[in-house]
Structure 1
Amino acid sequence: MMDKAGGAQGQTVRPGKYAHVERERRFLLAEAPALSAVTVTRMINDRYLVGTRLRLRRAERSDGGCELKLTQKVPVARPGAVQGLITNTYLSSAEYDLLASLPAAVLSKTRFSVPPLGVDVFDGPLQGLVLAEAEFTTDEEAQSFVPPPECVAEVTDDARFTGGRLVETSRPDLLRWLAEYRLRPATP
C-alpha cells in the first residue's frame, strides 16, 4: 500500500540494485554558519518535476565545477532517520537541458558544508530558512548522533521541512511554521 507521497506504508525499506536507503536527520538553525567553518559552498537549483517523485538538480561549486543529476526519492511514512529509498543518475549538460524543459517547481538555496552537517540557506520566498542535514550509513549512527549546539530544533519528522514540500510553500506558511519553533527570520 502506498501513501499520498508515493511511499510504502509499514514496509521495511531495503536497498535495491540501484536505490539505496536514505538516512538523514534535519535541524533548524537560527542563522547561516560562520564562513570560517565552511569547507565547501554550492549554489543549488532544484527542479521538482510536476506529478513525479523526480528532482533535477544543478549544483554549482565555488571552484567553478558543476554537478547535474536526476534523483528519485521514494519516501516512507514512518518517523525517524530512514527517509526512504533514493536513486541518483548523473547527467550530461545536454541531458540536463532536455529534462529542464519539463514543467517543474523550483527551489534555490546555497549549501554550506560544515561537517558533520550540510547547511542550506534558502532564497526567494523561503529566505530566512536555514536547514541543516546530517546523513548516515547505518541506523545506529543516526540514533547516536548528537547535533551541534547551533541546531535549534530537530525537524526530521516534520514533513513540512522536506524539499518536495518546501518547493510549494508560501512565505506566510513558512513564517508560521518557523514561529512554531520560536524562530523569526528577518524580512527580505
Structure 2
Amino acid sequence: MATDIDVPKYAEVEHERRFLVYRCPDLSERDYRTIEDIYVADSRLRVRAITFSDGRPPAFKFCKKYPSDSVTSAPIVNIYLTAGEYELLSRLSGNTVRKRRYRLDFEGMLYSIDVFEGALAGLILSEVEASSSDALRALAPPPWSRLEVTGDDFFRGANLATVSAAELQGKLSLLRR
C-alpha cells in the first residue's frame, strides 16, 4: 500500500532501497564517479561534487531531501551548480562524506555500489531506485547484499558524515552477529 507523500513544489519523489554489501562484485575494470558530499549543518541540505573516472568534466549539485513518513520514498530537489556556485556553497559549515560510486546492472535494474573512504573506509553500500514504491518493494535484494539497511537511520548520508571509524566498526560488528 502506497504512503501519501506531501510533495513540495519543484520536488520529485525518490524511491530507493539501500543494502549493506558483504560480497562486492569485481569493480576494478568499471568506471566510477567520486562523490564528495557536504551535509550542511543544522539543515536538510547537501552540496555535492562529482568527478568522473572517464575524464568527463566534474558536476556539482545542491540538494534538499524533505522528511517523509515512508522508509523508501521521500521528496527531493536537486539543482545543478557551476563550479563557482559550488565553491561558494562548499564553504558552509557541515560534515563531509567521500565515496566512489560504481554502477552495476542486475536483473534489469541499475544499482549503485558506494565504496566509502576516510573514516568510513570498509563500508560498502548498494542502493537502487525505482519509479514507484510498489516497483521498489517487488525487487529482490542483489546477491552481493547481506542486509537491507533502508530503514536504519545510521546508514543515511547525513548521519554517516558524523560517524567515526570506531562507531562504524561497532555498528558493523553488531550487524555481523
Please confirm whether the aligned pair reaches a TM-score higher than 0.5, indicating the same fold: yes
Give the corresponding residue for 1:121: 115
2-side partners of 1:48 and 1:156: how far apart? Answer: 19
Deviations 1:39-83 (A, max 9, x none): x4001110111111110000111122211000001122443x21x
2-side partners of 1:46 and 1:32: how far apart? Answer: 23
From 11, 15, 27, the equivalent of 1:23 is 15
2-side partners of 1:100 and 1:118: how far apart? Answer: 24
1-side partners of 2:116 and 2:171: how far apart? Answer: 15
2-side partners of 1:174 and 1:36: how far apart? Answer: 25
Q: How does 1:64-83 map to 2 (within 5 A)?
A: 64-65=55-56, 66-79=58-71, 81-82=72-73
Give the corresponding residue for 2:172: 178
Give the corresponding residue for 1:7: none
Q: Secondary structure at the match of 2:32?
A: strand
Q: How does 1:31-42 map to 2 (within 5 A)?
A: 31-35=23-27, 38=30, 40-42=31-33
2-side partners of 1:179 and 1:146: how far apart? Answer: 25
Contact 1:37 1:114 in 2 (8 A): no
Structure 2 unaligned regions, length at least 5 = none
Contact 2:24 2:144 in 1 (8 A): no
**Cα offset, 1:15, TM superposition:** 3.2
Q: How does 1:133-172 map to 2 (within 5 A)?
A: 133-172=127-166
Contact 1:14 1:21 in 2 (8 A): no
Contact 2:113 2:124 in 1 (8 A): yes
RMSD: 1.7
Report the count of equivalent residues. 170
2-side partners of 1:37 and 1:147: how far apart? Answer: 24
Contact 1:33 1:119 in 2 (8 A): no
Structure 1 unaligned regions, length at least 5 = 1-10, 184-188
> CA, structure 1 residues 98+36, in 2 after alignment: closer, same or farther (shift >3 Å)?
closer
1:103 is aligned to 2:97: no
Deviations 1:119-140 (A, max 9, x none): 1000111100000000011122
> CA, structure 1 residues 103+36, in 2 after alignment: closer, same or farther (shift >3 Å)?
closer
